[in-house]
Amino acid sequence: MTQLYEHQIQALGSRERAALVNSISGFKAANLVGTVSADGNTNLAIMSSAVHLGSHPPLLALILRPDDACQHTLENILATRVYTLNHVNESIYAQAHQTAARYPRDVCEFEATGLRAQWEPNFAAPFVAEARIRMGMTLREHQKLTINGTQLIIGEVATLSYPQDSVNGDGSLDLASAGTVALSGLDSYYRAKRLGRMAYAKPELSPHHID
Amino acid sequence: MTQLYEHQIQALGSRERAALVNSISGFKAANLVGTVSADGNTNLAIMSSAVHLGSHPPLLALILRPDDACQHTLENILATRVYTLNHVNESIYAQAHQTAARYPRDVCEFEATGLRAQWEPNFAAPFVAEARIRMGMTLREHQKLTINGTQLIIGEVATLSYPQDSVNGDGSLDLASAGTVALSGLDSYYRAKRLGRMAYAKPELSPHHID
């Protein structure tokens, strides 16, 4: 085992430090965030920071970093108060990754990457047509985290679409069967293979699989 | 495709809703959070909410839900201001899942699940000996999110250990080779198989793999 103390992490070169620290939280969700500006320019950006906040009401949080390609996304979310989350799948991960490039404001990442914008009735942000699991989100809360200037965006699920054949018996979604990928670090994409599902944990029972 | 609007999600039974909404963010990190109370009782709890906040300084956030087995973890973090994050791997995922059971305060999840506590010099929270990637964290910030009562915990990496043979050329960690698992929903554990690593995205280049 290699052990690093914080001063050693801080002393790494910035690229090596970013590569290392971005990988230590574990596997990450890979979502494309779709937005539109007040004057109608669509934007699409890959993000790995979606995290579950609660299911009643259904809330997800996102962390946006000010120094990356998310700046237009943040401005659009604050202007329109809606955005979409679209699971990156095996068929589109290379195009999804390309949305991280710093395109000028008037370049549409949909056109630049070949992903197709899909609009749904009564929802004012673009979905990714190629995504199999996608959500329309309404902004509920926004704050700048003073500790490092990142932005915490909390949204409520307004609409949710998924393939019916990816629904497990308990109502959860089988993300592997939907082709959803996992991300690690800044650039590594993974297919997932299920090891097992565990029964609800209780103190008086030993851990056991349900499939 | 099945499409649900928010009122339909809200109308689901609470277990089905929790199963569904917990799976929509995508794949999640699986970490064991190790803590100790002021009077010396160790605690271990699986959490799927670790998220990268920044690498300089190296910061990770956790969302703790007040209604689950995390209550003791939260109390311990606030009392001692230190905790550990330990990647769940393929060899220990069943035991790791069992830490979610609501054990009484004086029951040690290490003993109850058979995982071994490991102490390091100058760090006052227990690590999981069986974990291959593990971090000692110092509490930097804590706030209750008023929107649903969840707790946002921001910690700084004080110490980081990993197998040297899991380091990629750019300094990132190869989580699959370290056996780190991904989690989906409340109970499904996955092995990861790398699809590819993508080059740094630039507007003037097409997306391309680097391995």
**Residue A46 vs residues A49, A156, B119: alpha-carbon distances, Å:** 10, 19, 38
Task: Express each pLDDT in B19-72 by its tens digit.
Answer: 999 999 999 999 999 999 999 999 999 999 999 999 999 999 999 987 656 789
* Pairs across A and B, CB distance < 8 A: 381
CA distance B53 to A144: 12
CB contact (8 A) between residue B195 and residue A191: yes
The predicted model gives B96-106 an average pLDDT of: 90
* 8 A C-beta contact, residue A154 and residue A141: yes
H-helix or E-strand spanning residue A102: none
Distance of CA A177 to the CA centre of its chain: 18
CB-based contact A133 B18, cutoff 8 Å = no
Please give, rounded to a whole number of angstroms, the shortest distance from the CA of B162 to a CA of chain A: 5
Please name the helix (run of DSSP H) or strand (run of DSSP E) that holds residue B109, with its range, or none: helix B109-113
Residue A85 forms beta bridges with which residues?
A33, A135
Identity of the residue in A26, A95, A207 whose CB atom sits nearest the CB atom of B180:
A26
The answer to ipTM > 0.90 is yes
> Of B19, B86, B115, whose CA–CA distance to A172 is shortest?
B19
> Which pLDDT score is estimated for B69?
64
Residue whose tokens read 């690229």 = A15
Residue whose entry in the numeric block shows the structure tokens 């673009």 = A126
Other C-beta atoms lying within 10 Å of the C-beta of residue B69: 20
Paired tokens of B45: 């709890």
Hey, CA dihedral for A51, B6, A197, A199, is it positive or negative? Answer: positive
> By CA distance, what is A66's nearest residue in B?
B54
Residue type, A67: D
pLDDT of residue A67: 63
Q: What's this model's pTM, rounded to 2 decimal places?
A: 0.96
CA–CA min distance A62, chain B (Å):
9
Which has the minimum average pLDDT: A19-23, A62-66, A136-140, B90-94? A62-66
Which residues does A121 contact at the CB level (< 8 Å), separation at least 6? none
Per-window interface: B 37-96 vs A, CB < 8 A = 48-61, 63, 65, 85, 87, 90, 93-95
Contact state of A187 with B181 under an 8 Å Cβ cutoff:
no
Q: Is the pLDDT reported for residue A70 higher than 80?
A: no
Dump pLDDT digits (tens) for B129-188.
999 999 999 999 999 999 999 999 999 999 999 999 999 999 999 999 999 999 999 999
Angstrom distance (rounded) from CA B2 to CA B16: 15
Return the pLDDT at A68: 59
Cα(A29)–Cα(B87) distance, integer angstroms:
16
Contact flag A2-B30 (C-beta cutoff 8 Å): no
